Homo-oligomer: A and B are copies of this chain.
Amino acid sequence: MARRRKNVTIRDVAEDAGVSLQTVSRVINDGPNVRPHLRERVRASIKKMGYVPSLAAQRMSGSRSYILLAINDRERTLADWRERRGTDWVDQMLLGGVLTGAPHGYRMMVELIDTRSEHVERELGAAISALQPDGVILTPPHSENPLITALLEDRGIRFARIGSKARGPGIALTMGDEGAAALATRHLIELGHRRIAMIAGPEQYSLSGWRITGWRAALAEAGLRDEGLLARGDFGFESGLAAARALIARAPRPSAIIASSDQMALATLEAAREAGLAVPDDLSLISFDNTPIVRFTQPPLTAIDQPIAETVSRAVELLIARDEEAGAQGVIEVPAALVPRSSTAAPRAVDRA
């Protein structure tokens, strides 16, 4: 299987268009100082010959690599992966990132790094040395890992931290976890709920804290208190089951639960079933993530939709633009929205007491 057709290079195009190689380069990069008729002639040759610049060569000589690197959490096995995530982060990131980067000639690579490994730095360092990306996109929980941000700063690589409100190096983009939690809480309050519980994520994720803050704030607005109706999970199903059982066992029982992930919401559904509670009649439920799963549960779940694709898209724009002020402008917020479905309703009269 030998390489039949040699790749078209910038030299071939230059020859075809009867100009120097440098002029072609200028046209490719939309550089200034090329007379219109020449620019057109070169463009025509490029199209005719189907020329596409080699990423490797561009990286070699130029200062840009046209590669963005997205760092995602990696579970150790496929089973863990499915059990704990169940989200479509990678799919959505690719959709948002690839579509936004493509028109500018940028490609996106995904690197899976296990946060709990002691080799985080080494793995990331190797990826950066090998790829020399123009920008890095960090997702939780890497977004606030100081080892990682320090490494990137040291190497002088621009990066975006998704799901982080902490100021600091890099561009911070958040999906407004505080506001989203408040949104969910208010929705329940408007339906008449007074005892609204929250299953939060692990402390390692700062967004867990923000969601708790938003939940408490919305309760306070309505003159309510959290009544200690807080439980923690690790976003996975099993942890959610334990948390939901504990909350349901409380007396008086909460009439509504906000779960910090779809997996934990599914677990809550299961816990309610065990306890003989109907959703939403006996217990209202709101989920975070809005992955495809929750449209098909019984009942379909009201959920907070995380605009992952949109947020990544925004991050890519800023990284490509090399907007030096983006970081300074503080946190960029792409707000999440509430998608009402059938798992939320007014509480029964007896609960309203």
Assuming the A-B contacts A55-B56, A125-B50, A296-B266, are A112 and B130 also in contact, with contact meaning beta carbons closer than 8 angstroms in the complex?
no
Stretch at the interface among A151-159, A185-193, A196-204: A151-159
| A129 and B52 within 8 A (CB) | yes
Q: Does A20 belong to the interface (CB within 8 Å)?
A: no
Q: Is the CB of B130 within 8 A of A54?
A: yes
Contact of A107 among B82, B130, B296 (CB under 8 A): B130
Minimum C-beta distance from A320 to chain B (A): 14
- For the complex, is A324 an interface residue (Cβ under 8 Å from B)? yes
CA distance A110 to B70 in the complex (A): 12
* Nearest CB in chain B to that of A92: its residue: B78
Could you tell me if B52 and A309 are in contact, using CB atoms closer than 8 angstroms?
no
* Other-chain contact of A156, B5, B56, B65, B266 (Cβ < 8 Å): B5
Minimal Cβ-Cβ distance residue in B for A109? B109
Residue of B whose beta carbon sits closest to that of A83: B292
- Cβ of A181 within 8 Å of any chain B Cβ, yes or no, is no
Complex partner residue of A78 from B1, B90, B298, B309, CB under 8 angstroms: B309
Pair B56/A4 contact, Cβ less than 8 Å:
no
**Shortest CB–CB separation between residue A206 and chain B, in angstroms?**
23
Q: How far in angstroms is the closest Cβ of chain B from A54?
A: 6
Tell me, yes or no, whether A138 is within 8 Å of chain B by CB.
no
Q: Counting CB contacts under 8 A, is A297 at the interface?
A: yes
Q: Does A7 contact B (CB under 8 A)?
A: yes
Residue in contact with A154 in the complex, picked from B4, B107, B293, CB distance below 8 Å: B4
CB of A57 within 8 Å of the partner chain = yes
Residue of B nearest to A98 (CB): B112
CB distance from A130 to the nearest CB of B (A): 5
CB distance A60 to B52 under 8 Å?
Answer: no
Q: Answer whether residue A91 sits at the interface, using C-beta atoms and an 8 A cutoff.
A: yes
- Interface assignment of A88: CB less than 8 Å from any CB of chain B: yes
A53 to chain B: closest residue by CB = B130
A95's partner among B56, B57, B81, B157 (CB-CB below 8 A) is B81
Enumerate chain B residues within 8 angstroms of A37, measured Cβ to Cβ.
Answer: none
Q: Most chain-B CB neighbours within 10 Å: which of A7, A50, A129, A153?
A: A129
CB-based nearest B residue for A58: B56
- Min CB distance A204 to B, Å, is 22
Q: Which residues of B contact A54 (CB under 8 A)?
A: 59, 129-130, 132
Mask of A263-275 contacts with B, CB within 8 angstroms, 1/0:
0001001000000
Interface residues of A (CB under 8 A from B): 1-5, 7-8, 50-57, 59-60, 65, 74, 78, 81-82, 86, 88, 90-92, 94-95, 98-99, 107-112, 125-126, 129-132, 153-158, 266, 269, 292-293, 296-298, 309, 324
18 contacts across the A-B interface (CB closer than 8 A): A1-B153, A2-B156, A3-B156, A4-B154, A8-B129, A50-B125, A50-B129, A52-B125, A52-B126, A53-B129, A56-B56, A56-B59, A56-B60, A74-B95, A78-B309, A90-B91, A91-B91, A293-B296
